[in-house]
């Protein structure tokens, strides 16, 4: 498997565990316990940076290559990949809600915060499932070894990416410990 595809799958695994952690925080919050703000901030901090900077651009580039190689089959992926903008919006909306909750806990916007959190978790899960069921298999089927070699070369993790991952080391260690 191309290094790029291995990286994408690993990132999905990381995000899946982070989303499970967030899911539990939301459930706990709905039952009346305060959220673990350190953990919630760590998860949101990861989603505010890493996917937009390093995960989605890899997928967008693969999609662009797929459009060159198999325009008809790739046409069905348009809405899937437009989803990256929607996910970025949902992350920012939840980040704002988390700050509100931290500074004004007395307002107890329990239902509101929980519904934003659920929307964030469910949308990310749906998006990744679609990619794993449709997008990744199509890319693996259509793109040649030469395509992958070239794409791998363009996306070898640079210092900036390694640095951003390190910034989120604490929350990603929780992923490793799960
Ligand atoms: Fe994606
Ligand atoms: Fe993805």
Rounded mean pLDDT of the chain?
Answer: 89
The full DSSP string for 67-106 is HHH-HHHHHTTHHHHHHHHHHHHHHHHHHHHHHHHHH-GG
Side-chain-side CA neighbours of 4 within 13 Å: the count stands at 26
The 10s digit of each residue's pLDDT in 90-119 is 999 999 999 888 887 776 678 888 999 999
CB 37 within 8 A of CB 98: yes
How far does the centroid of ligand 1 lie from the alpha carbon of residue 84, in Å?
6
Which residue matches tokens 């996917």? Answer: 51
How far does the centroid of ligand 1 lie from the alpha carbon of residue 93, in Å?
18
How far does the centroid of ligand 1 lie from the alpha carbon of residue 80, in Å?
7
CB 98 within 8 A of CB 44: yes
pLDDT of residue 68: 94
Q: What are phi and psi of 163, to 5 degrees?
A: -65, -45
Lowest-pLDDT range of 23-37, 87-101, 131-145, 157-171: 157-171
Lowest-pLDDT range of 7-21, 30-44, 106-120: 106-120
How far does the centroid of ligand 1 lie from the alpha carbon of residue 105, in Å?
33
How far does the centroid of ligand 1 lie from the alpha carbon of residue 33, in Å?
32
Question: Nearest to residue 91, comparing CAs of 125, 116, 54?
Answer: 116
User: Which domains does the chain show, CATH number per domain?
Assistant: 3-177 (1.20.120.520)
Residue 16 DSSP symbol? H
Cα gap 21→120, rounded to integer Å: 13
Tokens of 39: 């953990």
How far does the centroid of ligand 1 lie from the alpha carbon of residue 97, in Å?
23
């Amino acid at each position: 498997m191309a290094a790029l595809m291995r990286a994408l799958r690993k990132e999905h695994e990381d995000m899946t565990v982070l989303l499970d952690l967030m899911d539990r925080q939301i459930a706990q919050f709905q039952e009346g316990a305060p959220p673990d703000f350190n953990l919630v901030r760590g998860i949101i901090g990861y989603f505010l940076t890493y996917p937009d900077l390093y995960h989605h651009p890899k997928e967008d580039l693969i999609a662009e290559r797929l459009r060159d190689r198999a325009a008809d089959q790739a046409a069905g992926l348009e809405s899937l990949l437009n989803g990256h903008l929607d996910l970025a919006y949902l992350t920012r909306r939840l980040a704002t809600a988390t700050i509100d909750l931290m500074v004004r806990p007395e307002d107890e916007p329990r239902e509101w915060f929980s519904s934003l959190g659920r929307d964030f978790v469910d949308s990310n899960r749906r998006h990744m499932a679609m990619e794993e069921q449709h997008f990744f298999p199509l890319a693996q089927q259509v793109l040649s070894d030469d395509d992958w070699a070239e794409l791998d070369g363009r996306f070898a993790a640079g210092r900036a990416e390694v640095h951003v991952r390190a910034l989120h080391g604490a929350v990603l260690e929780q992923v490793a410990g799960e």
